[in-house]
Structure formats: C-alpha cells, structure tokens
Amino acid sequence: MSEVLRNRVYIVTGGSRGFGLAIAKQLVAQGANVGLISRNQAGLDQVVAELGTDQAVGMACDVGSSEQVCAIFEEIRRHFGQLDGLINNAGLAAPNRVENLVEAEVISQVHTNFLGTVFCSQAAIPWLRGTDNPRIVNISSASAWHYDEISHLSIYASTKAAVERFTRDLRLELQHDCIGVTCIRPGGAITDFSVGWDPDAFAAALEGWKDMGTYMDMGMVPEDVAEAVCYCLTQRPGVAVDLLEVRPSVLTPKDGF
C-alpha cells in the first residue's frame, strides 16, 4: 500500500472495464478511494461490489455532456469529502476506412474521447485547486503517433492527438495552481476495446494492418497502464511527469492475432 495514495480520492472515467477498471483496482489496492464513471451503471455496480463500497462509488454519466459531468463530479466529491485527482481514461473507437466513415461513429468518438477530456478537466479544476498534491492524468494512445497500431483508426487517433495538444495547454494553465498534469500514451494492450465494432470494418482494418509488416507492438495488459498511472500520481508536489509513453518492447508476430 502506498502512503502517498492512501485515503486520496480520484475520479476515473471509463472505469467499468479495460484500462479504467485496472486503474481503479490498482488505486484501491494502494489505499485510495475512487469515483468511477461510465455510461454503464450495471457494469459500474459490479465493479464497485468487487472493490468495496468503502473505497469505491460508481455513477453513470455521459462525459461528453458538461452538465452531467459537473453534477456527477460534485456528487462524488460530496460522497468522499474531497477530490485529489482525475484520470481521463474514457474512450471509444470505431475502425473504418475514411471513405466509409459513419457520421454517428465519428461524432461519438470526438464526443467521448476529446470533449469528455475537456469537460471532465473543467469540472475537476475548482475541486483540485488548493489540495496538497492535485493531479490530472489524460490517457492518450500510441496510435496518435505510430503507424503500427490497428489500421483504419483515423478518427480515434485524431481525437487522441487532440487530447495530447489539449494536455499541453492544460499543463501550462494549471502551473499557477500547482496542479500536476500528465499525458500517458499507452501502446497496444489486450482488452475488450473492440466490443461493438462492425465486424466487416474490423476485418478490413486487420487486413490493412497486417499488410504493414510481420510484427506488432502488442502484448501489454491493462495493469501495465495502471502502474504507469500510479507512478505519475505519486510524484512529489511540484513535480509531474509530462508525457509518458509505455509500449511493448518485444516483437510479436501478427500471425494468429
């Protein structure tokens, strides 16, 4: 258990599965309290039951709605009595060739991945200001910069690149408040991220990806990202990891993926 994280309160968006779930579990294991946000209340209820109601609370929210976000953040802070940090993890993707992009899928990715990061950061800042080691951690993706991720993720990758640019300005603006701001750029990890993807578009994306080379940067697990988040949160006050890229370091053949 970390003395630095013990009894602190963090909001984790996209907390019902994948990276968000792993981050929540790691934080609770380190003695922190977590407010989990996602659109799936049933999923959140299962996670909270697993983590324990003393240290976790889950509330359904559309992070792309500023009004909902502000209300939920205030409720989570009231529940625990404080807020020490925010992990902007919520994200979704819908792979497709550019000429076949579906308007609703484009909008939903921008809505969740980018606007969600903006609105949640806005809501957290007033509650973080004045605490002794406040943090905002924004989760990007290696696909924002590297071409060896799954193909046909133009919109997802663009929203994550936007998150990184937004994070740079956020860091500068919050220095006067001593709020540490970090961007973590994870590489390929095995999660349930592809749930709900159009099977034909996904198949085409995989074919395009395999044509780009024999090996892939895949093989991480969500716990790797969770450990990176905790590392960033435990820096001493006045020091913040600016950008942390965590990627697999072993060549893995794409055959059989």
- Give the span between the Cα atoms of 153 and 161, in whole angstroms: 12
User: Could you tell me how many residues make up the chain?
Assistant: 257
Residues 6+ apart with CB under 8 A from 40: 16, 60
CB-based burial label for 234 (10 Å; 0-12, 13-18, 19+): middle
DSSP letter for 193, please: T
Cβ atoms of 32 and 6 closer than 8 Å:
yes
Active site residue 156: yes
Cβ atoms of 21 and 52 closer than 8 Å:
no
CB-based burial label for 238 (10 Å; 0-12, 13-18, 19+): exposed
Helix then strand then coil, in percent of the chain rounded to 5, is 45, 20, 35
Map residue 181 onto helix, strand or coil: strand
- Give the span between the Cα atoms of 93 and 155, in whole angstroms: 8
Stated as kind and residue range, the H or E segment containing 180 is: strand 180-186
Task: Please identify which of the residues 10, 156, 215, 231 carries the catalytic annotation.
Answer: 156
Instruction: List the alpha helices (DSSP H) in the chain.
Output: 18-29, 41-51, 66-80, 103-109, 116-128, 154-174, 199-210, 222-233
Q: Which residues are catalytic?
A: 156
